[in-house]
Amino acid sequence: MNLKGRDFLTLKDFSSEEINYLVDLGLDLKTKLKSGIPTPLLSGKSLGMIFQKSSTRTRVSFEVGMYQLGGQALFLSSHDLQIDRGEPIEDTARVLSRFLDGILIRTYSHKMVEDLAKYSDVPVINGLTDDFHPTQVIADLITIKEHKGTNKGLKFAYVGDGNNMVHSLMIGGAKVGMNVAIASPEGYLPNAEVVAYAKEQAALNGVSITITQDPFEAVADADVVYTDTWASMGQEAEKEIRAKIFAPYQINQKLLDAAKKDAIVMHCLPAYRGYEITNEVIEGAQSVVFDEAENRMHAHKAILAAIL
């Protein structure tokens, strides 16, 4: 499948077949790495990585992944660029395009990513914005397929804040044929337009998107139980009030018992144990959280290999 030259901004831009292709490519690259088979698919190519939001997994996995593919990665913090000093994003895009084969950006505004892609002559990858986190979902789908043998027909339950992670999970889940159930409190539900789009995609694939305020309803008979931090970057001031509002949405053993006995537990990290998930669950036999974290690198390698 030829995805060369494509931007990777949201999963809206990719078909079910293309998403499944990236999942399978990630699994293949993982198998080759574990078998000691080199994959210098991007020899001589360079990736510029702009980080206006801090990162552990995104930065390390993209950087190491690029090296493993035979290319090189250049880390650029906001202090290393002129964006924060007022240089227009279109100028930054045009200049970096002359030096690099691809640009990764992790930032707040999704519009900034769209503008960067508009004026860039090389592929742009969204490493996270306030609205979407599509690269994480490829890792999540790899992890689910690895543990369940498929993504199609499963029930996927997310409990917590209706944030950027939920938006991308709904779209990705719908497109690969999963039934997705989201439980969030009033006032913290996912964006209505994204929900409507995900429901359209789900209908095309014969599955459903359910939005509820009841975590037990969402988790009932689920194959996958997923959560995320209750206070994302930029929301630290709201942490205490969010902790009270989201307390009934904690992934604990009682809630997990409502899922299938062989359900897997996922969290995109960083996790705040004792808040959105208990230590017992994240360290328990059903947790695949650290397999999921490892698969970030294999997912990112798949995206890089496919589009650069």
DSSP codes joined into one string, the chain: ---TT--BS-GGGS-HHHHHHHHHHHHHHHHHHHTT----TTTT-EEEEEESS--SHHHHHHHHHHHHTT-EEEEEEGGGSSGGGT--HHHHHHHHHHH-SEEEEE-S-HHHHHHHHHH-SS-EEEEE-SS--HHHHHHHHHHHHHHHS-STT-EEEEES--SHHHHHHHHHHHHTT-EEEEE--TT-PPPHHHHHHHHHHHHHTT--EEEES-HHHHHTT-SEEEE--SS-TT-GGGHHHHHHHHGGG-B-HHHHTTS-TT-EEEE-S---BTTTB-HHHHTSTTB-HHHHHHHHHHHHHHHHHHH-
Q: One of 59, 68, 110, 136 is an active-site residue; which one?
A: 136
Q: One of 201, 228, 242, 250 is an active-site residue; which one?
A: 228
Residue 286 sits at φ, ψ, to 5 deg, of -90, -10
Q: One of 57, 59, 110, 133 is an active-site residue; which one?
A: 133
Q: One of 57, 59, 68, 106 is an active-site residue; which one?
A: 106
57 among known catalytic residues: no
253 among known catalytic residues: no
Q: One of 57, 296, 298, 300 is an active-site residue; which one?
A: 296
Q: Are 18 and 2 in contact (CB under 8 A)?
A: no
7 among known catalytic residues: no
CB count within 10 Å of CB 167 equals 28
268 among known catalytic residues: yes
Q: Tell me how far apart the alpha carbons of residues 152 and 223 are, in angstroms, rounded to a whole number.
A: 11
147 among known catalytic residues: no
Q: One of 57, 101, 131, 268 is an active-site residue; which one?
A: 268
Q: Tell me how far apart the alpha carbons of residues 38 and 181 are, in angstroms, rounded to a whole number.
A: 39
Catalytically active residues are 106, 133, 136, 228, 268, 296
